[in-house]
Amino acid sequence: MKIIHLTELTDEIYEAFQRLIPQLTSLAPPSRKELQDLIDADATNLFITCDADEKIVATVTLTCFRVPTGVRAIIEDLVVDAEARGQGAATKLTQACLDLSKEYGAKGVMLTSNPRRLSANQLYQKMGFKRWETNLYFYEF
C-alpha cells in the first residue's frame, strides 16, 4: 500500500472522499471546495492510501498547530474502505501521522475514537496510544 500526502485535488480524490466519508459518519462528505481548503490549509495534512491497483482505499487527517504550551497534533477522520479493511491501511496511515507529528515537534498525538469501533480502538492501543482521562466538552451550534 502506498501512502500519499495530498498537495492537490483530483477528480479521483474527490470521488474517493464521497465514497469513504459515508463509511465513517452520517455527516455529508466534504464539497470540492471544502476538500481543496483542507489540502491548502497550513495546519492540515491530508493523507490517502492506495492499494496495488492504485484505488484510494483510506484517508486520514492530521492537524498540527502551535499553542502557548507547545505543538499539538490531532488525528481525525481515519476511514478505511470496508472492502480493504484488515490489510494494514489504518496502521500505515496512523504511522505516517505519528512520523509527521514528530517532525513538527509535537510531544504526542491526540485522537478520539467511538467506543463502538472496537477494531479501531484495538489498533490504537496496539500502536501504543494510551487512553487519556479527561473531560471532553462540545458546544453545538
Write phi, then psi, for 42 (nearest 5 degrees).
Answer: -65, -40
Using pLDDT thresholds of 50, 70 and 90, give the confidence band for residue 124. very high
Burial 60-78 (b: 16+ CB within 10 A, else e): bbbbbeeeeeeebbbbebb
Mean predicted lDDT score pLDDT of the chain? 94
Domains and CATH numbers, the chain: 2-126 (3.40.630.30)
pLDDT of residue 114: 87
> What pLDDT was estimated at residue 136?
86
**30-76 residue pLDDT tens:** 999 999 999 999 999 999 999 989 999 999 999 999 999 999 999 99
